[in-house]
């Protein structure tokens, strides 16, 4: 290691020592403890250290947050501001996020273990950009006048839902929040953000920055707490107009039930995936394909809903491709997330690490060939490191080929021809991401049309831009984040008929 790298790592560690993360809820513009007085420890997966105590919000706190959000909404202090005024405030919010990039990146890395270089280059940047993009869109969206007969005027207006809950996961805590709160706030809703218990710290800090940016009290609330308490209370609350969730398919189902069992609130679900990455013999770019699938599964420790977790390779190129995949996978090395050179950090916590290791054990037990990794790396002291792992010669019925592992584990399946590859690709209860590699335009086009997934890449993977919708087919969810389509979730459409006399 060169001297500067060492200094950088030491510098981040020193900054980490000096950090005093805030753990309170933000309700009605004030940072408060949970009404019950209960809290839980925010643990760092890097070394198990307690970063701070976090307020364990429950139904009573959820109710307080909903009341303050409702009052702010009814007052019109935000909802009735001209769109361009909300735009200016939200752009200030995005700029404050950028101004606090190092602090936010450090909180994210300490709290959930992703490499500091990723937190800076991806998480903070994309969160700020998502909020700015939604803000910039809001004074360019026009409502409609319907082409009715001349003696009537039918206005089709987009109106904010009212009180919106956003319940988010721990893998990209700031980005998943920004994809929801950006369009929801831009439209004039009041929002309650419930972050995952493993990653509450950046959400709480975002709450402070939102206040500083001038978002009025009660318009943006942050309610940390456990899913089965705070999350459930928001899902079941009779005065929440919409609940928008990103997380597991299992909890997504609960939100569908919460809605049915309460006020039929609107819901949005961005759920899990087991995304197929298909390489056909008609691709001459096996090097690029190998790099792309490896980045797609090992980026963010594989804790990614669109992770390219199933590689499906046509028989005639499979061996050549596998050599390249293994060579490129070796470039991912578990290391201290505070080291700017690290490209594979820790998993989010010890329980999740055990779950991932259990999946690896099941792959071995079911007879897949372990081609790389398969355990905890030597020489690192924390509990939450897992080696980049590749299973070759898997069969479609194996657990590692069907279930979302949400860790750095790639499962490779063989297909005898493109038809079998497409059948295998679609043989999943999920439908989030998918890729096909082929230099034959007709094949690629037909394949892309045949893939049952919300985000399909041809000769690429995980292209990411705020201008395109993101979300899943099948059990990967309902509705889309990002792009102008995301605004549809947070608005009601009202038709106003006027008879002209």
235 touches ligand NAP by CB under 6 A:
yes
Q: Judged by CB under 6 A, does residue 204 bind ligand NAP? A: no
Q: Is residue 58 a contact residue for ligand NAP (CB under 6 A)?
A: no
- By CB under 6 A, name the one of 45, 169, 218, 345 that touches ligand NAP: 169
Count interface residues toward ligand NAP (CB under 6 A). 31
Does residue 171 interact with ligand NAP by CB under 6 A?
Answer: yes
270 binds ligand NAP (CB under 6 A): yes
Contacts of 44 (CB under 8 A, 6+ apart): 50, 51, 110, 111, 113
Binding mask 366-405 toward ligand NAP (x if CB under 6 A, else -) reads --------------------------------------x-
Strand partners, 40: 54
Q: 395-419 in b/e burial notation, b at 16+ Cβ within 10 A? A: eeebbbbbbbbbbbbbbbbbbeebe
Taking residues 246 to 265 in sequence order and writing x for each that binds ligand NAP by CB under 6 A, - otherwise, the string is xxx--x--x-----------
Question: Which of 300, 334, 336, 299 is CA-nearest to residue 12?
Answer: 336
419 catalytically annotated: no
Q: Minimum Å distance from CB 328 to ligand NAP? A: 24
Least separation in angstroms between CB 94 and ligand NAP: 21
Exactly one of 217, 229, 303, 305 is catalytic; name it: 305
Is 406 a residue that touches ligand NAP (CB under 6 A)? yes
- Closest residue by Cα to residue 491 from 137, 207, 234, 63: 137
Q: Residues 56, 39: contact at Cβ < 8 Å?
A: yes
Q: How far is Cα 442 from Cα 433, in angstroms, rounded to an integer?
A: 21
- 226 binds ligand NAP per the rule CB under 6 A: yes
x/- letters, 453..492, toward ligand NAP (CB under 6 A): -------------------x----x---------------
Rounded Cα distance between 283 and 51, Å, is: 48
Name the minimum Å distance from CB 481 to ligand NAP.
6
Count the Cβ atoms, other than its own, within 10 Å of residue 276: 28
The CA-atom distances, in angstroms, between 120 and each of 40, 174, 189 are 27, 11, 29
Q: Which of 270, 303, 314, 387 is catalytic?
A: 270
Q: Does 170 bind ligand NAP (CB under 6 A)?
A: yes
The rounded distance, in Å, linking the Cα atoms of 182 and 127 is 9
String of DSSP letters for 26-66: EETTEEE--TT--EEEEE-TTT--EEEEEE-B-HHHHHHHH
Output the smallest distance, CB 417 to ligand NAP, in A.
30
According to CB under 6 A, which one of 273, 276, 374, 407 is a site residue for ligand NAP? 273
Instruction: In angstroms, give the least distance from the CB of 88 to ligand NAP.
Output: 29
**Whether residue 305 lies in the annotated active site:** yes
128 touches ligand NAP (CB under 6 A)? no
Nearer of residues 322 and 360 to ligand NAP, judged by Cβ: 360
**Three-class SS of residue 139?**
coil
Residue 272 found at the interface with ligand NAP (CB under 6 A): yes
**Residue 185, SS3 per DSSP:** helix
Which regions of 168-295 does DSSP assign to beta strands (E)?
Answer: 190-194, 220-222, 242-246, 266-270, 276-279
Q: What is the contact surface with ligand NAP in residues (CB under 6 A)?
A: 167-171, 176, 194, 196-198, 226-228, 231-232, 235, 246-248, 251, 254, 270-273, 305, 404, 406, 432, 472, 477
Q: Which residues are catalytic?
A: 270, 305
């Amino acid at each position: 290691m060169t001297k500067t790298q060492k200094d950088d790592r030491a510098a981040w560690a020193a900054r980490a020592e000096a950090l005093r993360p805030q753990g309170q809820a933000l309700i009605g513009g004030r940072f408060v403890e949970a009404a019950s007085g209960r809290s839980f420890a925010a643990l760092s997966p890097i070394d198990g250290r307690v970063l701070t105590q976090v307020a364990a919000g429950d139904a009573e706190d959820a109710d307080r947050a909903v009341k303050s959000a409702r009052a702010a909404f009814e007052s019109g202090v935000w909802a009735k501001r001209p769109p361009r005024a909300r735009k200016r405030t939200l752009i200030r919010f995005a700029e404050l996020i950028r101004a606090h990039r190092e602090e936010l990146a450090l909180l994210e890395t300490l709290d959930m273990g992703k490499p500091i270089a990723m937190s800076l280059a991806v998480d903070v940047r994309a969160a700020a950009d998502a909020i700015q993009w939604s803000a910039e869109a809001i004074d360019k969206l026009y409502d409609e006048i319907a082409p009715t007969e001349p003696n009537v005027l039918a206005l089709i207006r987009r109106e904010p839902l009212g009180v919106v809950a956003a319940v988010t996961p721990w893998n990209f805590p700031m980005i998943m929040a920004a994809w929801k709160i950006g369009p929801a706030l831009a439209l004039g809703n009041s929002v309650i953000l419930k972050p995952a218990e493993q990653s509450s710290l950046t959400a709480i800090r975002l709450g402070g920055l939102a206040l500083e940016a001038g978002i009025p009290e009660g318009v943006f609330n942050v309610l940390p707490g456990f899913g089965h308490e705070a999350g459930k209370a928001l899902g079941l609350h009779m005065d929440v107009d919409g609940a928008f969730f990103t997380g597991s398919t299992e909890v997504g189902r609960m939100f569908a039930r919460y809605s049915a069992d309460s006020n039929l609130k609107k819901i949005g679900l961005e759920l899990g995936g087991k995304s197929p990455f298909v390489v056909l013999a008609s691709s001459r770019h096996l090097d690029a394909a190998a790099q792309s699938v490896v980045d797609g599964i090992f980026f963010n420790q594989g804790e990614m809903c669109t992770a390219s977790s199933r590689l499906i390779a046509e028989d005639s190129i499979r061996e050549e491709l596998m050599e390249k995949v293994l060579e490129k996978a070796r470039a991912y090395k578990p290391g201290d997330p505070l080291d700017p050179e690290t490209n594979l950090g820790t998993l989010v916590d010890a329980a999740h690490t055990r779950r991932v290791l259990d999946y690896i054990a099941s792959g071995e037990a079911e007879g897949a060939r372990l081609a790389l990794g398969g355990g905890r790396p030597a020489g690192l002291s924390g509990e939450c490191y897992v080696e980049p792992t590749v299973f070759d010669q898997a069969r479609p019925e194996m657990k590692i080929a069907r279930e979302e592992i949400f860790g750095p584990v790639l499962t490779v399946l063989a297909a005898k021809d493109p038809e079998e590859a497409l059948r295998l690709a679609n043989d999943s209860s999920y439908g989030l991401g998918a890729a096909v590699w082929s230099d034959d335009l007709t094949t690629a086009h037909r394949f892309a049309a045949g893939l049952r997934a919300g985000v399909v890449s041809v000769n690429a993977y995980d292209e990411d831009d705020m201008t395109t919708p993101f979300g899943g087919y099948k059990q990967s969810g309902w509705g889309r984040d990002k792009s102008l389509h995301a605004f549809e979730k947070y608005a009601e459409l009202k038709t106003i008929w006027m008879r002209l006399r």
